[in-house]
Structure 1
Amino acid sequence: MALQLLQQPGAVNFAGDPIIVKAKTNLTGKTFLRIVAVCKVKAVASNESVEHSEEYSYSVGTDGIATLNVGHTVQTFLENKMEQKMQGGSLSTSLYKAVFSLALREVYLDGTLEVTGDTVQTESFTAIPGSLTEYERMSASNHDTETLIGTCRILSRKPDGERIALGDTLHIPAVQNVSGSSNIAYKLTQGSTVKTGNAYTPDALVPVIISHQVTGLSNGDLSILVGGVELTRKRIVPATDDMRRFVFLNGFGLVESVTAFVRESLTYNISSESFIVPSDISYDGNTSVLNYADSPKATFAMSSGFVSRAWAEWWVNEFLPTRRAWMEVDGRYVPVAIVPEEKNQLFDRSKPGLIAVKFNVKYAFAGGTMNRFTRN
C-alpha cells in the first residue's frame, strides 16, 4: 500500500486539544504530490446528530509524511452547535459530543490531469468540549484523554474550599463515560445530612450541567460527590450584600457558577458630541448648542475578594478570560462582559499580603437596572 497511517487520534479527545493525524505516502517522483484529508464531524446527542466536513491538503516533502491537526475543525463545529444561556434565573443548554473520522487520499498531477492514488479511511473517534492547558499537556503523565476522564469527571479546575451562600444555585459541569446510563448521580453531604439528585445526560460523553439549589443545610463544610467517583469540597457561609453571583463559560466552554466577595464601585460612561447651530438666519441672529449623548454604559470595578494563591490562579486563568458571563441582579441573571485588568499582580514575596484579583464588569445593554418605568 502506497498510503499508510502513522498516527491516529485517541478514542476520546478534548476538542480544543491538538488532534493529530500523521500519514505517509511511498510515492516518489510525482508532480505536486500531496495528501488530501476530509474530516467528517457529527455533533451527537442521543438520537440527534448534525454533520459537517472540511478538507485539508498537505504538500508532502521528500520524506512523504503529512502531519495534520484537525482539532480546529472539530472544536469550531462543536462550539457553534452548542447553546448555553441564562433566561432570568433558568439555565438552558444544548450540549453535544463530536464523533469524527477522516478519509485520506494521495493526489498528484500527471501532465495536466489530477490523479488520485491510494485512499485510506480511519475509524471513528470522539471529542468532548474543552481543552487542557499547555502546561497540563506538557506535565501529563498519561496523554490518554479517556483514562483522564475515567467513568466520570467534573469539567472544572476549581480548587477545593469554594465559598457559597445558603440558597445559591450551583452549576457544575460534568461528563460521564458509561454506556447505557442516562443520568449522572450526585450527592451533597454535610454531617449527617445527605441530599441526592440526578442530572440527565442523553448519551455517554455528552456533557451535562448539574444545577442544584443549596437549601436545607447550614453554614459549614459541604462535600459533593459526582458520579460516585469525583469529589469536590465547598463551604457554606452567611449571605452578605458584598456577594456577587456569576454564571460563566469556563475553560472547557461549559457553564459554571462562582461567587465573588467584593466591595464594588459603579461608573457610567457617557459619550457625547456637541453641535453649534444657528437659531435664526438674520443679521442679528444668534446660535444655540445642541448636545447628543449616547446611552449611558455601566461599568463595575470588582474583585474576587481576598483569596488563596490557588484560587487567585483560578480567577485569572478561568474566570477573567471567559467569553460569556451573566451576573445576578435582583434575583435574575443579566448578560455582562468580564473585562480583566491589563495586569494582575498576584503576589510579591518582598511585600507579603492578601491576594485579590481585580476586574471590571460591563452590562451587555445600555443604561442601568434601577432606573426603570416598569415595576415587578
Structure 2
Amino acid sequence: MEAAVDETLLRSLTPAVIGILVRRGADFAAAEDAVQESLLEALRVWPENPPRDPKPWLVKVAWRKFIDATRADASRRRREERLEAEPSPGAGAALDDTLQLYFLCAHPSLTPASAVALTLRAVGGLTTRQIAEAYLVPETTMGQRISRAKRTVADVRFDQTGDVATVVRVLYLVFNEGYSGDVDLAAEAIRLTRQLATLSDHPEVAGLLALMLLHHARRPARKRADGSLVPLAEQDRSRWDTGLIAEGVEILQRALARDQVGEFQAQAAIAALHADAQRAEETDWVQIVEWYDELVRVTDSPIARLNRAVAVGEADGARAGLAALARLDPSLPRYTAVAAYLHDRDGDPVTAARLYAQAALVAPNLAERDHLNRQAARINATARR
C-alpha cells in the first residue's frame, strides 16, 4: 500500500532547501524553480519509495535540477559540480537562510500582491496553480506575477538585513485572504507565522501570531449553514476554539510583557478582550476603546479610527459613536455600514435601513453584501408591522 505524502512537511522544508541552493551559488529565481521541481518529483516518487530523511533528498534532487538547467554553461557547470560535493550547511545556517528568505519575499520593492504570491511560492512551497486557485485568477496570470517578482529581487543580496514589519504585513495579508480553492490560506498563514516565530523573537511576530490564533478560533461560528455571515455579537461562543484562544492569549501576554507595543499586539489585545467575554453583553468595551486609542497612536490608521467609533458606540452609547464617526472621511471602506449600525443602535430605523442598503451596493464580497441587505430587510419588515 502506498504511503501518503505529507505535503505540509514538504512545504515546511521549502525555504531551507532554497536557502541551501542559494548558498551553493544558485541565484534565487533558479533555486526556487529547481526546488519546485524537486517538490513535484517528491510527490511522484515518495508514495512508493519514501526517503529516510526528506530534507537531504530534496536538496540533492533540487541541486541536480538546477545543474541540469544550467549545464549549457561549461564554466558554470564545472563550478557547480565542484560545489556538489560540499556538505550542506548546518541547522543554524538553514534557519538563517529561512529567515532571509522571508525578508527577500517581502522586499519593499515588491507590490503587496507580488510579495504575497512570492511568499506563498518560495516560503510556503505552494505551486503556482494552488496560489492562482486561492486568489481566483488564471494560472498564467499568477505565473507572470511570480516571475516578475522573482526578477525584481534577482539582484538583492541574500544576506541583506530585512524588515520584520514588512514580513508580518505580508503574512497578515495572506491570513486575511481566508479560504478559497484547495488551499486554506488562513491556516497556511498561521503555519508560516509559527515558523517565523521560531526564527525571530520580535514582539510583533508574536503579536501577529496571537492575533491570527484568536481570530481563527472564532472561525467555526462565523457563518451559518447557508454561508451567510454571523455578526460577532450573535455568534455561538461555545463553538469558539478555546485551545487556540488560550494559546493566543499566552503568546500575547509574553509579547506585551516586553513593553514594545506595536500594531499587531494592539489588535490581538482587542481580539483577546472579545474572546474573554462569555456573552456579547459582557464585553469590556471600555478597555477595547483604550486599546483602539493605542492602536491609533501606533498606526494613525483611518480604519483603526473607524473601528474605534464602533467601540465608542458600544462603550458610551450610539450618539457618542456617531460623533466619533462624524470626524472621519465618509469615503473610508465600510464607513456607511458602520453609520448604519450606529443609527440602528440609536433608534433611527429609517436612516439605518437606507444606509444598510447603500453599504450593500459597495460591499467587498457577496457574503457581506448579503448580510447588509438582510439588515436592511429586517428593519423594513419591522417598520411595516
TM-score with structure 1 length normalisation? 0.26
Q: Which structure shows the higher strand fraction?
A: 1
TM-score, structure 2 length as denominator?
A: 0.26
The structure number with the bigger radius of gyration is 1
